[in-house]
Amino acid sequence: MPSRNSSFKYDICIIGGCGHIGAPLGILFASKGLKVIGYDVNKKTVNQMNTGKMWFIEHGCEKLLKKTLREKQIVFSADPRTVSSAAFLIICIGTPVDEHANPRFSVMDDLIKLLQKYTDLRNQILILRSTIYPGTTEYIQRKLGANIKIAFCPERLAQGSALKELRVLPQIVATPEKRIRQSVRSLFSKINEDIYEMDNFQEAELVKIINNTYRYLNFSISNQFFMAAQRNNLNFDNIYKATTYKYPRMKGFGNKGFVGGTCLYKDTMQLNAYLRNHFALGQAAMFINEGLPDFIIEILEKKYNDLKDKTVGILGMTFKANIDDTRESLSFKLKKILSFKAKEVKWHDPYLKNDKNYMPFSKVIECDIVVLATPHRYYQKRVNQLKNIKNFYNATYWQI
């Protein structure tokens, strides 16, 4: 790995440095003594991160951010020229799909323009960390020149547990060039001892997509079984408990509930695009998981005849428990359909107190029907109040 006495001011520049993936990674590297700059197009989050305050919940990060800022190991900037000032560039920008559920290639084309303008990739090493459509690393290499130094090192952590998982989840380092692999390996060895080397970009890109797609499919299996049980007036929680009780072959069985967040659905759709729509399993999973809010409303309509004269409360709006991220949360889909069907919809989430529509928990549980959508610890601590709700529906995996 280039040493500090190389011509670069920083060891690492994280592109997308203020994001959910870029920020914890940069902070962790900085805490290990590397000089880090987080470049991000979002000036607001750049300014906030430079004050030492995280703009999203990531357990343990804020303390380490403050420390590394104080020690001048890390800084954040919205100036694109900063990408020329580091030995390693780590790409952590968002890679969304478009309205047709196809990858948005323009994101990569904008990135290529930035790199063409400000970097010298014969001397700097480019590491792609965002989850990308298979073939993207080779595409970037083709556009920037065969002689650039490039590797693909996917991020596989779960939001909320970043600092812990960055240290323990094996880090894939993929590039056919042995010398580059060695340099990148020694960089990641600063934060993680478990490095897994691969020499083929596309195989490594597929590893990441398959990791996420597998989880998405797995949740859809549980959701399908949950719907089957409910349609027959049976309690899925009882069935789940018994199927998994001391039965090792069900070890990997997921559980029911909303599947949100920016990754699982998106990456299943990227795989679908890669397979040119010949991915019936992924398409079925998408219909099942995305259909869960509709299914729940159908059940409520049957049970209470009609929802037109009912107020409905939703508990939990973020896409998973104990974080403040609402991206692609199916609670919002539930709310949207209910707003059309019911008399009124109210919601509560302990992590969204600053939202203008925030309602206190005590008000939301007074609704005619209450749906638990995200199993935050906050609700688990109030289990007795939940048990007293007359018309309560638990859409989560948490067994009450």
Ligand X SMILES: NC(=O)c1ccc[n+]([C@@H]2O[C@H](COP(=O)([O-])OP(=O)(O)OC[C@H]3O[C@@H](n4cnc5c(N)ncnc54)[C@H](O)[C@@H]3O)[C@@H](O)[C@H]2O)c1
Select 37 or 184, whichever has its Cβ closest to ligand X: 37
The 80-109 contact track toward ligand X, x by CB under 6 A, reads ------------xxxx--------------
Tell me the window of 12-20, 222-230, 313-321, 377-385 that interacts with ligand X (CB under 6 A): 12-20
Counting residues that bind ligand X (by CB under 6 A) gives 25
| DSSP per-residue string spanning 16-77 | TTTSTTHHHHHHHHHHTT--EEEE-S-HHHHHHHHTT--SS--TTHHHHHHHHHHTTSEEEE
Exposed/middle/buried for residue 146 (C-beta within 10 Å: 0-12, 13-18, 19+): exposed
Query: Helix, strand, or coil here: 119?
Result: coil
Q: How far is the CB of 13 from ligand X (least distance, A)?
A: 10
d(CA 168, CA 248): 24
The 109-138 contact track toward ligand X, x by CB under 6 A, reads -xx------------------xx-------
Nearest position to ligand X, beta carbon: 19
The 37-66 contact track toward ligand X, x by CB under 6 A, reads --xxxx--x---------------------
Q: What is the dihedral of CA 334, 339, 342, 348, to 10 degrees?
A: 60
Single residue of 159, 175, 213, 224 touching ligand X by CB under 6 A:
159
Select 65 or 157, whichever has its Cβ closest to ligand X: 157
Tokens 């990569």 map to which residue?
Answer: 108
Single residue of 8, 10, 19, 220 touching ligand X by CB under 6 A:
19
The 248-287 contact track toward ligand X, x by CB under 6 A, reads --------------xx------------------------
Select 184 or 296, whichever has its Cβ closest to ligand X: 184
Neighbour tally for 75: CB within 10 Å? 20
For helices 280-303 and 264-274, what crossing angle results, to 10°?
140
Beta bridge partner(s), residue 354: none
Q: How far is the CB of 155 from ligand X (least distance, A)?
A: 4
Neighbour tally for 8: CB within 10 Å? 19
Interface with ligand X includes 217 (CB under 6 A)?
no
Select 261 or 313, whichever has its Cβ closest to ligand X: 261
> Element (H or E) spanning 302, and its range?
helix 280-303
d(CA 335, CA 321): 18
For residues 77 and 114, is the Cβ–Cβ distance under 8 A? Answer: no
Binding region for ligand X (CB under 6 A): 15-16, 18-22, 39-42, 45, 92-95, 110-111, 130-131, 155, 157, 159, 262-263
